[in-house]
């Protein structure tokens, strides 16, 4: 009977060790953005090609005040963007683009990138499903 108890204890210890060492899939939801997409046109200020998310800072003219404001837009990780045709230099400061995005529910200047459209009509998609237009 002691051997059974020892085996059970070892088994449980192994399970505990595995559950602690296996990395958890920890990711936030996108509950902070709306489902409805909007389109903003502006000038790229910065494109951060970084993990776990890439970021686009887009200067947009505020329709109410007429003043420029920076929108911080979250994109996917570089590995995911690469599979969709993006490159580290896809967006450069000074590029004028239109961005289809899901804006923040709070109404703040930010959101989740769905599609980037260049003046020549070329596009970079960021979502697996085609964006609503």
Domain boundaries, the chain: 38-125
Alpha-carbon dihedral of residues 64, 68, 95, 81, nearest 10 degrees? -80
pLDDT in tens, 17-49: 555 544 444 555 666 788 899 999 999 999 999
Confidence (pLDDT) at 1: 58
Confidence (pLDDT) at 51: 94
- Residues 3, 1: Cα–Cα separation, whole Å: 5
User: Which residues, 6+ apart, have CB-to-CB distance to 52 below 8 Å?
Assistant: 77
Confidence (pLDDT) at 33: 80
Q: How open is the CA angle 65-67-68, to the nearest 5 degrees?
A: 140
The structure's pTM equals: 0.74
- Residues 80-91, mean pLDDT to the nearest whole number: 95
* CATH architecture for residues 38-125: Beta Barrel (2.40)
């Amino acid at each position: 009977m002691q051997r059974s108890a020892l085996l059970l204890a070892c088994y449980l210890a192994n399970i505990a060790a595995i559950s602690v060492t296996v990395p958890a899939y920890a990711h936030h939801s996108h509950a902070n953005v709306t489902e409805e997409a909007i389109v903003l046109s502006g000038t790229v200020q910065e494109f951060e090609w970084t993990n776990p998310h890439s970021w686009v800072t887009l200067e947009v003219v505020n329709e109410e005040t007429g003043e420029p404001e920076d929108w911080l837009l979250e994109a996917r990780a570089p590995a995911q963007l690469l599979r969709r045709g993006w490159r580290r230099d896809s967006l450069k400061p000074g590029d004028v683009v239109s961005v289809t995005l899901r804006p923040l529910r709070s109404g703040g200047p930010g959101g989740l990138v769905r599609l980037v459209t260049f003046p020549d009509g070329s596009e970079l998609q960021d979502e697996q499903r085609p964006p609503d237009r």
